[in-house]
Chains A and B, each alone.
Chain A
């Protein structure tokens, strides 16, 4: 596959938004244009790792393949109220420290299993979490799932969304191949 085609396909996978691959950028800012969120390239990479932990690559593409972290940033930046945006950024900031304290190392340096444990603890712990970590993770997880289910890969390969169904059956027996909507 030619490199140009590959990049184009990634761009399409990411959903028609013009998203520059982060490797082409050298500055410390996030690789996509954001109106409201102040996110560094380092944090963007952390988001990619968190997304990959939430929806890892298996025999099918994972969060990084689908650039879900960029989708999350785009949606939080454009479609969430200011309160959410602030909580997301503050929660992301404090997540690093929380992770280091909890797991003894930065998220990027943890094994896949420990990364999963670090994130799971956010849902299970009710006290002692730094401010907005829970809010951050809630938004992050919900938007990762949303981006995944609405990705071209899932909509064309796993849970097929049809542009032109051409039919309606109100008594469709379950337990056959299923399409969404």
Chain B
């Protein structure tokens, strides 16, 4: 620590520190500043300002040198990042390149990261389905992981709270397994998605197809206009950043809102090396930060610290925050920190065609992406030889399929004729995985990053339960596709490594018991009460829903609790 800076301690002291500016960190910033706390947000990547720093947002396909495709050179340099569907010519500047931030894969794991202000909230798929007690009660009912210390009733108010601000488009479907929220008008299913919905509802008692709920302003309300955001224009170019603020991101919504309070200090290029623990005060006093560019070390201090660095990086920071009180990492009395990492099994898809409903096509684009099938497997009771189940995406599309035979004037005419192909349908699996001690992350003993911080070593893999669930998904979807009259059904189980789902969770799980969990029911570190974790690292189990909405709700709830505890002088 040759560059250790002890000057200006008061200038480096805040009421609250938030590590990370992604989807949950943005919420922590908004809530703390909204309650009047001077808040420092530390972001390890560069600044990205809404509108100003979306360089490709208004580009036409022909304005990209490779029309959106990746060059061989970029693919070769980024075997991991380039496997992500959104890592294309128009948005690759928002992804971590493989070379920049290496990590150790004990087993193949595609770690997809966005190091910038806003994090992956710029890039997310914007799916926002609530959890229900079928999810929170999962571990207790099916005997895995540990019992969630919260239930739906603990989070219900906070789901509503974040939904109203973020703006969620959806329909009130009245499903116990996927509770309704505070919805703006939903995006409609198209003709064939609707056909599938009707067939499934009539042939199966417990299976549903609904419009996917998503964080898009289908009809902005006053609170959204006040954020400077406008109606979603159905561009579906979201990964570039939206010039209308049509979808929710930290950049478009929570961070500017926090900034308006005058209480926010945002520091990009600030890599948190560790959280500082003071033995005498028996609390965390601040964080040690390395400037990404100058490598200068600075310490910042605050009464409360929120760790929102994204699931695995939150684990890294906690593991790297050692002291004589916590030799195995902050709050890690139990030894479970870094363990019980889980994810979503996205490794299967299925495709088909439909000959009917040819009098229709789609016009414009659907930002919700189409239909969503909530989990039906093992929902009410155990009915298969694997634990838990899967949700499924379902969408139908009808596009031009020009005749490309021949050459010359006939070819030229054919390829621009509005030659519609058949409806094409597809589904992808979103399977719950079981958190296990053997799926873990830890600090590398010998490899460090460019800032001297140990690299993260990841050891996460699928198991037999995942394989059985995947086989069931393919079998059930094929059956449902057949029932719906779809033809030429093709299964795709080209296995992808864990991580590419970008839903890695756990490692610092919530639980009742400090012996078997890191966080309590308020996302508060059991053994260090002024540190909270409200990103994916806190997740006790994964269920099947896209997790971001739940992180937002957990964050708003935890900040509310933390501030109340500060007022009571408990932290």
Contact = CB atoms under 8 A, between A and B. Distances in A.
Interface of A: 15-17, 53-56, 58, 60, 62, 74-75, 78-82, 116, 119-120, 141, 145-152, 154-155, 158-159, 161, 163-174, 178-181
A119 B411 CA distance: 13
Given A79-B70, A164-B235, A168-B364, A173 B65 contact: no
Given A15-B67, A16-B63, A150-B62, A55 B411 contact: yes
Given A79-B72, A165-B365, A172-B362, A16 B412 contact: no
B411 A165 contact: no
B399 interface: yes
A75 B359 CA distance: 37
Contacts of B62: 15-16, 150-152, 155
A179 B363 contact: yes
A60 B417 CA distance: 14
29 contacts: A15-B63, A15-B67, A16-B62, A53-B408, A54-B407, A54-B408, A55-B412, A56-B408, A78-B73, A79-B72, A80-B72, A82-B72, A116-B407, A116-B408, A119-B407, A148-B415, A155-B62, A161-B61, A163-B235, A165-B233, A165-B235, A167-B364, A168-B187, A168-B366, A169-B362, A170-B366, A171-B360, A172-B363, A174-B360
Contacts of A17: 65
B418 interface: yes
Interface of B: 58, 60-67, 69-73, 187-191, 193-194, 233-235, 237, 358-367, 399-400, 404, 406-409, 411-412, 415-416, 418, 420
Most chain A CB within 10 A, of B358, B406, B412, is at B412
A74 B72 CA distance: 12
Contacts of B73: 78
Chief secondary structure at chain A's binding surface: mixed
A66 to B, nearest CB: 10
Given A53-B407, A55-B411, A168-B188, A79 B66 contact: yes
A166 B420 contact: no
B234 A15 contact: no
Contacts of A167: 234, 363-364
Contact of A169 (B193, B235, B363, B411): B363
A17 B64 CA distance: 8
A173 B66 contact: no
The 9 nearest A-B residue pairs measured at CB:
A170-B190, A172-B363, A167-B364, A168-B364, A165-B364, A178-B418, A78-B71, A169-B363, A158-B416
B105 to A, nearest CB: 24
Nearest to A71: B67
A146 B70 CA distance: 15
Given A53-B407, A75-B66, A141-B407, A154 B416 contact: yes
A29 to B, nearest CB: 20
A17 B66 CA distance: 9
Given A141-B407, A150-B67, A174-B358, A166 B399 contact: no
Contacts of A15: 62-65, 67
A173 B362 CA distance: 8
Nearest to B187: A168
Contacts of A168: 187-188, 234, 362-367
B399 A173 contact: no
Contacts of B404: 145
Most chain A CB within 10 A, of B189, B235, B237, B399, is at B235
A75 B279 CA distance: 61
Nearest to A13: B62
Given A54-B408, A119-B407, A168-B188, 10 more contacts: A16-B62, A75-B66, A78-B65, A81-B72, A145-B404, A149-B415, A150-B61, A171-B191, A174-B359, A174-B361
B462 to A, nearest CB: 29
Given A170-B190, A171-B191, A180-B399, A120 B406 contact: yes
B448 to A, nearest CB: 34
A148 B99 CA distance: 35
A117 B23 CA distance: 59
Nearest to B194: A170
A146 B187 CA distance: 31
A78 B361 contact: no
Given A167-B234, A167-B363, A169-B362, A78 B412 contact: no
Contacts of A116: 407-408
Contacts of A181: 365, 399
B55 to A, nearest CB: 13
A152 B59 CA distance: 12
A15 B69 CA distance: 13
A171 B69 CA distance: 31
B188 A163 contact: no
A8 to B, nearest CB: 14
Nearest to B234: A165
Nearest to A150: B67
Nearest to B244: A164
A59 to B, nearest CB: 10
Contacts of B194: 170
Nearest to B89: A79
A74 B420 contact: no
Contacts of A119: 407
A81 B365 CA distance: 33
Nearest to A36: B72
B27 to A, nearest CB: 29
Nearest to B58: A163
A135 to B, nearest CB: 17
Contact of B400 (A150, A166, A180): A180
A55 B411 CA distance: 7
B60 A155 contact: yes
Nearest to B64: A16
A162 B70 CA distance: 22
A51 B226 CA distance: 53
Most chain A CB within 10 A, of B67, B360, B362, B400, is at B67
Most chain A CB within 10 A, of B70, B404, B418, is at B418
B68 to A, nearest CB: 9
